[in-house]
Amino acid sequence: MKKINFFITSSTFPSISVTGKSCALMCRHCEGKLLGSLIPAITCEELEKKALSFHKQGAKGMLLTGGCDKHGKVPIVNFIPAIKEIKEKTGLILIAHTGFISYEEAVALKGSGLDGIGFDMIGDMSTAREVYGLSVLEKDYIESLKAIQGSRVMLSPHICVGVHFGKLKGEFHALEMIREVKPATVIITGLMPVAGTPMAHIKPEPSDFENVITRAVKMFPETPVVLGCAHSSGKDREEIEKIALKCGVNGIASPTMGIIEIAEKEGYEINYYGACCGLLPDEKIRIRRIY
């Protein structure tokens, strides 16, 4: 029987910005605006307090993310004391977006109890420069990947379709770069149009998702390939989900009602998980369908 996992976070796996609304990079597709929809916790004390509150409310975990400094790093390491406290006092699963990271930092995060790291991959350095404002080399991405793998923290690389002003540029090479390590999952996301940014009216073509997902599934036959929660908006969103289902993804995050109905009609065995899609399916995060 065909199977599909749907990842639905909402209150079960809230996203926390450890920098509040602050971001030094101000990438052209976001300009820090996406941080406004996240829950702020900019001190260890604030993060611990909110984590305990979410735990009491039945949350299964949290995603720790935030804005980057000018070097493309999210200051997750500053919150190691809080991560340790949270892991000691609760059963919450903690996943983080770190941006670029050294081996020493990854090891320290592993020691704190962090469960996993999602790492954004760019396969064309002109995209890093023109969209993210970063002067980096391909080896910087590879070194961060290897640092995370070497620390034995669960690694979930993300590739964003169309982040180069809506066009494919480097996505296939980013998949090749990921082959340098053994990720737990490979997450395919897509450019999200954000109002008020220079790329507010740009969307990648659904066919571009088909090309990237098809390549990912072929390249990583033993690794779950998942369509992440950021995958366009409006009518395109369900169309992209249909494509992902057809291409053989293992999971879809934040699915539309339409794709759930399609999967049911086509006889898929459906499992629902109340967690970040970077996590491997587990009974601890399983939920009943909530909509």
pLDDT at 155 over 90: yes
pLDDT at residue 291, rounded to an integer: 58
Compute the distance between CA of residue 234 and CA of residue 110 in angstroms, rounded to an integer: 38
pLDDT tens-digit map of 95-142? 999 999 999 999 999 999 999 999 999 999 999 999 999 999 999 999
At 290 the pLDDT is 59
CATH fold for domain 3-287 = TIM Barrel (3.20.20)
Torsion of CA 244, 247, 251, 255, to 10 degrees: 20
Percent pLDDT > 70 in the chain is 99
pLDDT at residue 248 tops 90: yes
pLDDT in tens, 177-212: 999 999 999 999 999 888 889 888 999 999 999 999
Mean residue pLDDT across the chain? 95
Total residues belonging to the chain? 291
Contacts of 257-263 spanning 24+ positions with Cβ under 8 A: 257/291, 260/6, 260/289, 263/4, 263/6
Query: Per the structure block, which two tokens stand in for 156?
Result: 């979930």
pLDDT of residue 82: 98
What's the predicted TM-score (pTM) here? Answer: 0.95
Residue 273: name the closest of 264, 282, 260 by CA.
282
Exposed, middle or buried: residue 167 (CB in 10 Å: 0-12, 13-18, 19+)?
Answer: middle
